[in-house]
Amino acid sequence: TLKEKRRYLNSIKDKTRSKFNISIAEVGLLDNVSESIVGIAFVSNDGNHTNQVVSSIIDFLEKEFPGLVTDYSVEIL
C-alpha cells in the first residue's frame, strides 16, 4: 500500500539524511506503490567533494538497500 511505501521510504530518507547531512525528498511517482523518484540536494564549493559525496550516497544505498537504486542522474549547478 502507499502507507507502507511511505513508511519504508521515510526510513531510507532518515538514515541517508543523518549519515550524509543532506536534503532528501520523494519528488516523483508519489501515487505509485512500486516506484519512487527521490531527489537529493546539498551544497558544496568543490566539484571533487560533490562527486565523492554522490558516490558515497549511492554506495550506501546499494549496500543498505540492495536492489533499491535502479537508475540515477547527477546535476551540478
Q: Tell me the pLDDT tens digit for each residue of 26-71.
A: 988 888 888 888 998 988 888 888 889 989 998 998 888 888 888 8
Q: What is the pTM of this model?
A: 0.77
Residues contacting residue 29 through CB under 8 Å, at least 6 positions apart:
35, 36, 37
Nearest 5°: the CA angle 10, 20, 74 is 85
